[in-house]
Amino acid sequence: MIHSLFLVNASGDIFLEKHWKSVVSRSVCDYFFEALERATEPENVPPVIPTPHHYLINVLRHRIYFVAVIQSEVPPLFVIEFLHRVVDTFQDYFGVCTEAAIKDNVVVVYELLEEMLDNGFPLATESNILKELIKPPTILRTVVNTITGSTNVGEQLPTGQLSVVPWRRTGVKYTNNEAYFDVIEEIDAIIDKSGSTITAEIQGVIDACVKLTGMPDLTLSFMNPRLLDDVSFHPCVRFKRWEAERILSFIPPDGNFRLLSYHVSSQNLVAIPVYVKHNISFREGSSQGRFELTLGPKQTMGKAVESVLVSSQLPRGVLNANLNPSQGTYTFDPVTKLLSWDVGKINPQKLPSLKGSMSLQAGASKPDENPTINIQFKIQQLAISGLKVNRLDMYGEKYKPFKGIKYMTKAGKFQVRT
Amino acid sequence: MRAPPALSASAPRNGSRDSVSGALRRSASSSSTAAAAAEMSASSAFIDEKGGSASEPEYGHDPASGGIFSTDYKRHDDLKEMLDSNKDSLKLEAMKRIVAMIARGKNASDLFPAVVKNVACKNIEVKKLVYVYLVRYAEEQQDLALLSISTFQRGLKDPNQLIRASALRVLSSIRVTIIVPIMMLAIKEAASDMSPYVRKTAAHAIPKLHSLDPEQKDQLIEVIEKLLADKTTLVAGSVVMAFEEVCPDRIDLIHKNYRKLCNLLIDVEEWGQVVIINMLTRYARTQFLNPNVNESLLEENSEKAFYASDDEEEEDKKAEPATLAKRKPYVMDPDHRLLLRNTKPLLQSRNAAVVMAVAQLYFHLAPKAEVGIIAKALVRLMRSHSEVQYVVLQNVATMTIKRRGMFEPYLKSFYIRSTDPTQIKILKLEVLTNLANETNISTILREFQTYIKSMDKDFVAASIQAIGRCATNIGEVRDTCLNGLVQLLSNRDELVVAESVVVIKKLLQMQPEQHSDIIKHMAKLIDNIQVPMARASILWLIGEYCEHVPKIAPDVLRNMAKTFTNEEDIVKLQIINLAAKLYLTNSKQTKLLTQYVLNLAKYDQNYDIRDRARFIRQLIVPTDKSGALSKYAKKLFLALKPAPVLQSTFKDRDHFQLGSLSHLLNAKAAGYQELPDWPESAPDPSVRNVEVIRLLERVTTLTSIPDWSKCTSRKDRKEKKTEKPFYSDSEGESGPTESADSESDSGSGSESASASDESGSGSESEESREETESEDEEEDEEKEKKRKKRLDKTKAKKPAEESAESEQSSGTEDRKRGRKAVKNQKSASESESESESSESEDESEEESEEESESDTDIRKKKMPISKQPPKQSKKESKKERQEMSLLDLDDFEPAPASAPVTPVNFLSSSLVSDLEGLSLTNNILAPTAIAPSGSIKMYELLHRITVHQQHQLRDQKPAHRGAQAAVWDEDPRVHRDRRVSSR
């Protein structure tokens, strides 16, 4: 399975290596660097690179390449999924997953990697088990450790691996018992020139933050579970119960976790909460272009559209843009030709607009490609698919937990073609 | 465990080091090394010069010994001092720095001796870091690494399962060939450990040992076989992983575990699921029939039959006989169905690798009508990280070629965003092209139109090619596409134009007559286009269809002759071609030009071009010597050429197992296991049966044979046996898919006869194999007994042979004599149980409730038996067995749940100790009544006994309906579900 792992930073230096079987020379990464050079964009490095004796499988997260070396047939997704799980774990432990954070915590990183794989085969990847084995570094603990000389490694033996619910650590205790669920939906859409929807789908997740004492057994039911016909679950969810009753029944892991994610496909009707009026044109023979953009709310169920951010990759021929926003601020990077406009909240009474002119390279012909407009926004207290949690019940423990549900709709890959 | 001789190699050094180092260090070094030293210095016979001298310099630079040290060694002096200190905090600090060095790829191997002696440090973190170091450098410092072994050996005996497991884990990770025997022993021991976690670690250790010393393969396969029989979810994934690495071709080991693996699958951890599903895909390909085998035949037949194939299997069966009377209708093996059913929920996994594994399983194994369900899950994965997308799209692309309909509803999910990375865009384009058909082509082309305006030029080029492919595949839109492409010829971007030219050339080949104006248009372009491939394409077109453009062609040749020397090779070749073709059709105008071009080519630097020129000159220019061929030159050059077929690069990729690395690379990766073709006729399905007959037989072996390491596995197998009715329970859920009556009839009827024979012979061969490898006499003896018993059984079945055979076999030992009588009785009960089980199966398919009751009956029956004290003197054994068989019969009556009589403390302890004397093996199974004797051996035994009982508890559970829900590793979800539903 996974032979070795190299972490490569944006400038192409290997700053960490770990081997689970015999040592593979880091020169194997030369093949990766070659591919890196060939790729025009950082994300265009092929995820799987064959070399004479090994195969390199890499993922790019937080501008760090995680390059796994494998020697024989293994499902590539197996390795890719695992590498992403490693990144998630680092993020969970250090808050961020940057080169600096990894270098600062190199010992913890090493201990984690040691526990996560045995001979290249995943051993403990559940964050609850890992946290039992290796305590995440906090500022307080670092101070305490330096004074008392105690360690980050859990003193008691990690029984989680033996437990019937491997995702939950044992002996959890809280004074305030609380369970929060965030229903977050992202709209992926492509809107064409005329404003009609080409494709739109909703990608939803329910993220949970559960801090409950003991071994609580939760059930979560929905008002309209029929919406969820394409779901994937955290392993704690009892699948049979879902199949039979459409109720989520589970013993939650401790802390933050993703309970389920769902997908409302393009076959369903998806409400599009914003519309864009645009007029981006270049005149033949002139070195000027017109740029007009107006945003407006639509189908928002009375909720405000917030944190709106518009960005667009303008054609290469554009030298500069001279625009005038009715609200918010805009920036134009003349090197990358990226225009971004931080709109903020959309006021339905006074629609935000961005108007002005673009100057083109003198003598250059009119660019024949049209920029696409990417939009980001947030709508609080609304799940655009209409999903609603009915109730949350707890069994197995006596206390009364504090429960909270939050809804949010965001733009995912929301694109308007012009 | 005895220390094998290999270990003593380290002894003298260990001793000597201790003597060299000061008192302070001695106290710091763990008691274990001291103990090891003491123990090992006794075996002084094993002092090898080499080892001793090799270790010398390392002590030389020890500050305590004050030797000569080089500057290089000096570098880590502070670390060494810290490691030698008394304080854990200093040691920890040193270890952290060392690990940081390792992480950066710096060489820290010279610290090995200083680090390794901390292996038994009390501080857990220090210990862990030492392990990290040890595993990293042991291979380079083999001799010194041996110092640490005894610590791990001690750890292997620790009462705490986690310590046992971690000791085994580190021990097996040390790649030092000399400790192979120790590892082997440890793995064997751990494979029958009471803790599933330790067994899991043992499974992990198997591939490690195999890679270290492939010669251990045979022994390791034995361990794998044993662990495969393990029925905990914890072990399943790891052992299948070991199986895949060590002996992926030993499909016979899977038979008996197949159903269990299918049923455990949902509760195995996600990484294990991937491995198991991939393995089962291969297994199913060898064992079951192609569910789509009738497809092609049916399509030719009447429409009615055609539709039947799309429906469920049983309808297939019913509808067909009319049309396909002579053909045997396809009936899906229930085990095949079981696999499909049990993997389906995993499409809901959060792990992309699991979803992909299930998808490929369905693609390779499911009937055509059922494959569709994977599309939704795969489309969902597309929202994941771009690397995941990349792999999924590769697989979707392959799938869309074979089964287009599956993804058609999700067409829009493959639409391309400008923010996608180029490699993703191109894959999506591939999928869209594969999905194009008459009904959706207009929307797809509209999409393509927007793609052509993209800023990503590589992507634009790919889009143009995609349009070309759509045009060749779908006749209706060919003209539209062609017109669109011609418009692109006026695009400002040269790459776009060039790509269009190449694609247009291919399209024109399909119907050149209608498009002479396009050819003319393109001829004009040659002045502007610089991309060689495009120039070559235009030249070829003009040459090929010079009769359509008789005026332009010579002019183009004239122009090209001017620039010939500056052209790229590929263009030069086409100029020669054009010249030759024009010479043949219009020699009046072009004769001189052609000769000029050929002369230029004659002196070209590239010898391909020189060759071509020479060849063509011979062929077309009539000379005296010219051969017969030149007469046919025109036919040769201007023959009608078949239009190129624009094919997907993903065509035929599905001969690689989907989701595999080989599929992704479209090349066989090392260690790739070919996906076998479906067998013509199904191998005997009864090999997977784990039937009740063997249960009884096993019970007897269990009672008479006390070797526990054997017994655990046997017990497991026995438990499997009961699983048959158990599984049919779950089969009941999907009732409609299988035709209840016809199938179970054929299943139970034919199988029970053949199966019993099969199983007998099968296990016999298994046994004989084992026997050749086994070293212990005891084992041999035990096996002989077993075999005899089996013989007995067959005797009971075939009374004619019985007497003769029994004489033979019973001649060796008198023990059996009593048994024979019992056997006869038992065979009665056997047959009864058999019929019962098959009956229960029938019922189960209609009503799962009833089924589970019969299920519990069988379990009950088994329970009390296995509790029987196993060690018996010969006479007693007879008596006991009679009792037992009576018991069996009793249990077959539908007794109340509380009924089972369990003779737990059947033997008094004194009797047991008597029997101990009679025992044939060292390992004695004592009933719980025996007081522990205090020896380690006894201690271990007790462990095992508790395991045994726990196993039994587990067996009982279904009977008690979840009352003991959370016991052990049974899936908590299932039980909770039960509990909740009963609430």
Interchain contact, B972 vs A249, CB within 8 Å: no
Q: Which two tokens stand for residue A82?
A: 């695992």
Q: How does pLDDT run across A80-137, given as a tens digit for each residue?
A: 999 999 999 999 888 889 999 999 889 899 989 988 998 889 888 888 888 877 887 7
pLDDT category of residue A167 using cuts at 50, 70 and 90:
confident
| Closest Cβ–Cβ partner in B139, B270, B977 for A235 | B270
Mean pLDDT confidence for B182-198? 90
Which residue of chain B is at minimal alpha-carbon distance from A119?
B208
Q: Which two tokens stand for residue B345?
A: 């929920």
pLDDT category of residue B6 using cuts at 50, 70 and 90:
very low
Interchain contact, B103 vs A18, CB within 8 Å: yes
Any idea which residue has 């080949």 for tokens?
B509
| Closest Cβ–Cβ partner in A47, A107, A199 for B391 | A47
Residue B169 and residue B135 in contact, taking contact as beta carbons nearer than 8 Å: no
Q: Does residue B626 surpass a pLDDT of 90?
A: no
A to B CB pairs, distance under 8 Å: 259
Distance of alpha carbon B235 from alpha carbon B233, whole angstroms: 5
DSSP B778-830: HHHHHHHHHHHHHHHHHHHH-HHHHHHHHHHHHHH-THHHHHHHHHHHHHHHH
Distance of alpha carbon A30 from alpha carbon A32, whole angstroms: 5
Q: How far is A349 from chain B (nearest CA, A)?
A: 32
Q: How far is A339 from chain B (nearest CA, A)?
A: 14
Query: 3-class SS at A263?
Result: strand
Whole-number Cα distances in Å, B335 to B274, B341, B644: 19, 10, 45
Tell me, yes or no, if A217 comes closer than 8 A to chain B by beta carbon.
Answer: yes
| Closest Cβ–Cβ partner in A17, A162, A263 for B380 | A263
| Closest Cβ–Cβ partner in B131, B352, B415 for A77 | B352
| Closest Cβ–Cβ partner in B100, B208, B356 for A107 | B100
Q: Does residue B644 surpass a pLDDT of 90?
A: no
Which pLDDT does position B524 carry in this prediction?
A: 82
Interchain contact, B160 vs A157, CB within 8 Å: yes
Interchain contact, B162 vs A162, CB within 8 Å: yes
Start-to-end CA span in chain B (Å): 51
Q: Does residue B729 surpass a pLDDT of 80?
A: no
pLDDT category of residue A141 using cuts at 50, 70 and 90:
low
Q: How does pLDDT run across B548-602, given as a tens digit for each residue?
A: 888 888 888 888 888 888 888 889 999 998 888 888 888 788 888 888 988 888 8
DSSP H helix total and E strand total for chain B: 52, 0
Distance of alpha carbon A151 from alpha carbon A141, whole angstroms: 9
Tell me, yes or no, if A82 comes closer than 8 A to chain B by beta carbon.
Answer: yes
The b/e string for A172-191 (b: 16+ C-beta within 10 A; e otherwise) is beeeebebebbbbbbbbbbb
Interchain contact, B412 vs A198, CB within 8 Å: yes
Which residue of chain A is at minimal alpha-carbon distance from B454?
A369
Tell me, yes or no, if A78 comes closer than 8 A to chain B by beta carbon.
Answer: yes
pLDDT category of residue B932 using cuts at 50, 70 and 90:
very low
Q: How far is A109 from chain B (nearest CA, A)?
A: 9
Name the residue with higher pLDDT: B216 or B631. Answer: B216
Distance of alpha carbon B236 from alpha carbon B228, whole angstroms: 7
Which residues are within 8 A (CB) of B249 and not within 5 positions of it... i.e. 6 or more apart?
Answer: B673
Residue B722 and residue B866 in contact, taking contact as beta carbons nearer than 8 Å: no
Q: How far is A259 from chain B (nearest CA, A)?
A: 10
Residues of B in contact with A192 (CB under 8 A): 450
Share of chain A above pLDDT 90, in %: 41
Q: How does pLDDT run across B823-850, given as a tens digit for each residue?
A: 455 444 444 444 444 444 444 444 444 4
For residue B901, the 8-state DSSP code is -
Residue B703 and residue B881 in contact, taking contact as beta carbons nearer than 8 Å: yes
Which residue of chain B is at minimal alpha-carbon distance from A51?
B669
Whole-number Cα distances in Å, B705 to B587, B779, B781, B920: 99, 10, 10, 9
* Total residues belonging to chain A: 418
Distance of alpha carbon A219 from alpha carbon A390, whole angstroms: 10
Interchain contact, B976 vs A217, CB within 8 Å: yes
Tell me, yes or no, if A393 comes closer than 8 A to chain B by beta carbon.
Answer: no
Q: Give a three-class secondary structure readout of A100-115.
A: HHHHHCHHHHHHHHHH
Residue B176 and residue B148 in contact, taking contact as beta carbons nearer than 8 Å: no
Distance of alpha carbon B383 from alpha carbon A188, whole angstroms: 10
H or E element, residue B97:
helix B88-103
Handedness of CA B427, B430, B436, B441 (dihedral sign): positive
Mean pLDDT confidence for B95-111? 88
Which residues 227-256 on chain A approach chain B with CB closer than 8 angstroms? 230-235, 238-241, 243, 249, 251
Least confident of A395-404, B465-474, B684-693: B684-693
Q: Does residue A415 surpass a pLDDT of 60?
A: yes
Which residue of chain B is at minimal alpha-carbon distance from A79?
B353
Q: How far is A57 from chain B (nearest CA, A)?
A: 9
Q: How far is A346 from chain B (nearest CA, A)?
A: 25
| Closest Cβ–Cβ partner in B87, B204, B356 for A119 | B204
Which residue of chain A is at minimal alpha-carbon distance from B383?
A203
Say what the pTM is.
0.71
Interchain contact, A241 vs B980, CB within 8 Å: yes
Residue B937 and residue B709 in contact, taking contact as beta carbons nearer than 8 Å: no
Residue B816 and residue B704 in contact, taking contact as beta carbons nearer than 8 Å: no
Q: How far is A328 from chain B (nearest CA, A)?
A: 24
Residue B298 and residue B309 in contact, taking contact as beta carbons nearer than 8 Å: yes
Q: How does pLDDT run across B267-313, given as a tens digit for each residue?
A: 888 999 999 999 999 999 988 888 887 655 444 444 433 444 444 44
Distance of alpha carbon A371 from alpha carbon A416, whole angstroms: 9
| Closest Cβ–Cβ partner in A71, A199, A368 for B415 | A199
Any idea which residue has 């710096």 for tokens?
B106
Other Cβ atoms within 10 Å of B528 Cβ, number: 10
Q: Which two tokens stand for residue A135?
A: 């305590």
Q: Nearest CA to A383 among A192, A187, A190, A157?
A: A187
Q: Which of B661, B666, B674 to mutate to test the interface with A (most CBs of A within 10 A)?
A: B661
Whole-number Cα distances in Å, B579 to A270, B544, B546, B590: 61, 11, 11, 8
Q: Does residue A48 surpass a pLDDT of 70?
A: yes
Q: Does residue A70 surpass a pLDDT of 50?
A: yes
Q: Which amino acid is at B819?
A: R
Residue A249 and residue B980 in contact, taking contact as beta carbons nearer than 8 Å: yes
Whole-number Cα distances in Å, A190 to A196, A375, B144, B198, B977: 9, 11, 64, 53, 42
H or E element, residue A312:
strand A306-313
Q: Does residue A336 surpass a pLDDT of 70?
A: yes
Q: Which of A119, A242, A336 to mutate to test the interface with B (most CBs of B within 10 A)?
A: A119
Q: Does residue B1 surpass a pLDDT of 50?
A: no
